[in-house]
Structure 1
Amino acid sequence: MHTKIIFSFVLAACAVGLGHARECIDKHVLESKPLTLASGHVVTMETFNCSNVDTTPVRREPPQARHTYMNLERAASQCTQANCICGIPCFFNGCSAVTQTIRASDCTSLANSLMNNPGTFTIPPNQGVAFILQSCEYGAFSPSVTDTIQYCFSDMGAAALQTFDTCGTQQGSCKGTFQGANFFVDQLSL
């Protein structure tokens, strides 16, 4: 119980200042393919990179999350690569205005489908992997410029739901740290 209170306090304290969000300039889709999740939803899975990644200030709002989705500690068998970020928490990083309308039902369906999908996926070095369902996109950005990173679908979905609960139909982000480098899960408008 004390952990929940402390986490809520830290989350609220972090929401007071200005944060940074990445802006993917000149997004290059390297691969795009349909992916059928365990829920039966067929989503688009994209691997992409950006000409450069720019950081711009983001308006922070106090989190209004009704629930806190914490990543469960994963058994060692969940990770099959040394560079695995399964089980590493992703904390609220900010909300920002959308460029296109995001429908809430698309984001919650996508996040829940990812969270209930077994297994892992990989993020190539210095790239991102996005999952798209109609108007909603969740992207995971690699913390490494040299190594492929393994990530659990369930953690991606949990981070997505946490971001959606806080930002609603705005763009939003959460940030985690792996071996001293930051990784991000973003809710993006298309």
Structure 2
Amino acid sequence: MRLRNKPWAKDMINDNLDLISVQPENMPGKWQDRFEKQQPLFLELGSGKGGFITELAKNNPQNNYIAMEVQEGAIALLLKKQVENKLSNLQLLLANGANLTDMFAEGEVSGMYLNFSDPWPKTRHEKRRLTYKSFLEQYKYVLEKDGYIQFKTDNQGLFEYSLISMNNFGMNFEDISLDLHNNEKLNEDNIPTEYEEKFSKKGFRINYLKASFK
């Protein structure tokens, strides 16, 4: 979902370059330098307004997190939260996720989160889906050997497609749920996104998987 333009966004970003990166092409292998401590690094691809990643960083000070978003308006809202919270284990990244291997070194990331990605339902747009094989190749490169992907969506078609795409890529599935919020074990530690809360209240089931590369 594209947000309205935020006239104040550019100035806020430029005033807080210690909290947000806008030149990630200079960062492969150097992301830990932007954090207070060197700790396992996790990436959310498509952070939106940032409710999920902010809460995750608060709850897990033993990890470092990067919130990546391509929409300037969305990441500016997340930046406002970070200016207030000043979480030392959270950095923001304004960039397009189609070029991850230009931004991260091989094995630099411990885990990735894909939350409610655009389903791109038309067949001609298949290559834009974040679980298409060309994206999976990039994830495999930037993730460490034991790294994993967590994926949530309310879109049944995208979830089924993702299961097939990941299976064809030879990935291992650790957890799969077609109704996350009614799965007592998996939902116990679940942090909902703003989108997730909105659509689960309307009765949409939330699909979830956790997978790794062989």
TM range (shorter): under 0.3
**Higher-helix-fraction structure:** 2
The structure whose residues are more often strand, as a share, is: 1
**Larger RCO: Structure 1 or Structure 2 (Cα < 8 Å, ≥ 6 residues apart)?**
1
